[in-house]
Structure 1
Amino acid sequence: MNRLIPAAIVALALAGSAAAQAAGTCTVIVNGHPLDPGAAACDDGQNVLLSAQALNECLGISVVPPEGGAPWTVRGFGHTILVRAGATAYSVDGLMQSAQVAPELRDDTLFVPLAMVEGTFELRSTVQRDGEATVWALSGPGSSVLDIREGRHEDRVRIVLDVERPTGVRWTLQDGLLTLELPASPGSQMASAVRLVRPEDELVEQIRQGPTGSGSTRIEIVHRSPAPPEVFSLPDPPRIVVDLLRSAEPAAPEPPLQPVRPLPAAAGVLESRNFTTPRGPVRVHVMDVDPRCTAIEVRPALAAGALNGRAPLTQIVRQSGAWGGVNGGYFAQNGAPLGMLVINGEWVRDPYDGRTVLGITQDGKLLMDRLSFDARVTFAGHGWQQLSAINRGHEETDTLVLFNRHWGSTVEGAAGRTRLVVDASGVVTAKICDGMSAAIPPRGFVLSGIGRMAASLDLVEVGCAVTVDLATTPRWPALAQAIGGGPRLVKDGQKHITASPERFRPDVYAGVAPRTAIGITAAGRLLLVVVDGNGQRCGMTLDELASTMIKLGARDAMNLDGGGSTTFVADGRLINGPSDGAERRVANALLIYITDRLAADGG
Structure 2
Amino acid sequence: MGAFVDRVESGAVPSAIAQLSQATPVTPRSPSTSPTSSSAQLLQQGTQISLNGRIWPVAWGQWQSNSNQIRTGISDTGLLRTTGVDLLNTNDPLQQPVQWYSSPTSSSLNLAVRHSQQYRYLDITELATRTGWQVRTSGSTLLINAPTSQLTSIRQGRQPWGTRIVVDLDRPTPWQVDQQGQALTVTLNAAAEPALIQRFQPRPIRPTPSTTPSRPIATPPGTPPRAGIPLKLEVVQNQLALRLDIPAGLQPQFSTLSQPNRLIIDLRPDAMVERNILWAPGLRWQQQFLALGSSRFPVVWLSVNLRQPGLKLGPIWSNTSSLVGIAPLVQTAQRWQVAAAINGGFFNRKTQLPLGAIRQDGRWVSSPILNRGAIAWNEAGDVKIDRLTLQETLSTSTQQRLPVLSVNSGYVQAGIARYTSLWGAAYTPLTDNEIIVTVRNNQVTAQQPGEGANKGVFPIPSDGYLLTLRANRAAAGVLPVNTAVRLEGETTPADFDRYTQIMGAGPLLVQNRQIVLDAKAEKFSDAFVKERAVRSVIGTNGEGTLMIAAVHNRVGGVGPTLAEVAQLTQQMGAIDALNLDGGSSTTLYLGGQILNRPPQTAARVHNGIGVFIQPRP
Normalising by structure 2, report the TM-score: 0.54
Q: Is the 8 A contact 1:156 1:243 kept in 2?
A: no
Structure 1 counterpart of 2:314, one-letter code? R
Deviations 1:531-572 (A, max 9, x none): 135975353222222222112211111111111111111122
Distance 1:249 1:524, change over 3 A: closer
Superposition pairs for residues 24-39 of structure 1, below 5 Å? none
| Residues 378 and 499, structure 2, Cα contact 8 Å, conserved in 1 | yes
Aligned to 2:487: 468
Superposition deviation, residue 259 in structure 1: 9.8
Q: CA deviation at 1:577?
A: 2.0
Indicate the residue corresponding to 1:300 in structure 2. 315
Q: In structure 1, what is the Cα distance between the partners aligned to 2:582 and 2:217?
A: 12
Q: Deviations over 1:83-134 (max 9, x none)?
A: xxxxxxxxxxxxxxxxxxxxxxxxxxxxxxxxxxxxxxxxxxxxxxxxxxxx
* 8 A Cα contact 2:400 2:478, kept in partner: no
Query: Which residue of structure 2 aligns with residue 341 of structure 1?
Result: 358
In the alignment, the residues of structure 2 paired with residue 581 and residue 412 of structure 1 have an alpha-carbon distance, to the nearest angstrom, of 32
Alignment of 1:21-170 (within 5 A): 154-158=177-181
Query: Structure 1: how far apart are the matches of 2:286 and 2:424?
Result: 39
Task: Indicate if the aligned counterparts of 1:279 and 1:537 stay in contact, CA closer than 8 A.
Answer: no
**Among candidates 393, 415, 418, match of residue 376 of structure 1:** 393
Aligned counterpart, 1:8: none
The 1:328–1:442 alpha-carbon spacing in structure 2 relative to 1, beyond 3 Å, is same
State how far apart, in whole Å, the 1-side matches of 2:303 and 2:399 are.
49
Confirm or deny that 1:309 pairs with 2:325: yes
Residues 416 and 484 of structure 1: is their aligned pair in 2 closer, same or farther, counting only changes over 3 Å? same
Question: In 2, Cα distance between the equivalents of 1:271 and 1:394?
Answer: 36
Report the AA paired with residue 247 of structure 1: R
Q: Give the letter aligned to residue 275 of structure 1.
A: L
CA distance in 2, matches of 1:585, 1:234: 22
Matching of residue 289 in structure 1 with residue 285 in structure 2: no
* 1:480 equivalent in alignment to 2:500: yes
Q: Which amino acid aligns with 2:289?
A: N
Secondary structure (helix, strand or coil) at the match of 2:601 reads: coil
Q: Aligned ranges for residues 317-332 of structure 1 at < 5 Å?
A: 317-332=333-348
Contact (CA 8 Å) 2:295, 2:555: kept in 1 or not? no
- Deviation at 1:363? 3.7
Tell me the residue number matched to 2:427. 411
Distance 2:607 2:420 in 1: 18
2-side partners of 1:385 and 1:401: how far apart? 11
Compared with structure 1, are the counterparts of its residues 157 and 594 closer, same or farther at alpha carbon in structure 2 (3 Å cutoff)? closer
1:447 and 2:437 are equivalent in the alignment: no
Map of 2:285 onto structure 1: 270
Deviations 1:14-64 (A, max 9, x none): xxxxxxxxxxxxxxxxxxxxxxxxxxxxxxxxxxxxxxxxxxxxxxxxxxx
Q: Which runs of structure 2 are paired with 1:107-256 in the superposition (5 Å)?
A: 154-158=177-181, 241-242=224-225, 247-248=243-244, 253-254=253-254
Query: How far does residue 154 in structure 1 lie from its aligned partner after superposition?
Result: 4.1
Corresponding residue of 1:494: 514
In structure 2, distance between residues paired with 1:474 and 1:374: 11
Aligned-residue offset at 1:394: 8.2
Aligned to 2:254, the other structure's residue is in SS state coil
Which residue of structure 2 lines up, in the alignment, with residue 582 of structure 1? 601
Q: 1:581 to 1:394 in 2, by over 3 A?
A: closer
Query: Equivalent residue for 2:406?
Result: 389
Between the aligned partners of 1:401 and 1:572, the Cα distance in structure 2 is 38
User: Residue 289 of structure 1: SS of its match in structure 2?
Assistant: strand
- Distance 1:469-1:271 versus aligned 2 partners, 3 A rule: same
Bigger relative contact order, structure 1 or 2 (CA pairs below 8 A, ≥6 apart): 2
Structure 1: gaps of 5 or more residues: 1-152, 161-224
| Alignment-derived partner of residue 543 in structure 2 | 523
Q: Would you say the 8 A contact 1:158–1:243 is kept in 2?
A: no
Is the 2:537–2:577 contact (alpha carbons within 8 Å) kept by the matching residues of 1? yes
Question: 1:551/1:310 Cα in 2 relative to 1: closer, same or farther (>3 Å)?
Answer: same
- 2:477 is aligned to 458
* Count of paired positions: 377
1:400 maps to what in 2? 416
Contact 2:274 2:289 in 1 (8 A): no
- Residue 519 of structure 1, CA deviation: 0.8
Q: Which moved more, 1:466-475 or 1:365-374?
A: 466-475
Corresponding letter in the other structure for 2:559: G
Aligned-partner Cα distance in 1 for 2:531–2:410: 32
- What per-residue deviation string (whole Å, max 9, x for no partner) do you get for residues 393-446 of structure 1? 68443x1110123433322357643322123x3333322247464211225310
Q: Kindly provide the CA deviation profile for residues 285-313 of structure 1, in whole angstroms up to 9, marking residues without a partner as x.
A: 22222324441111111113342311111
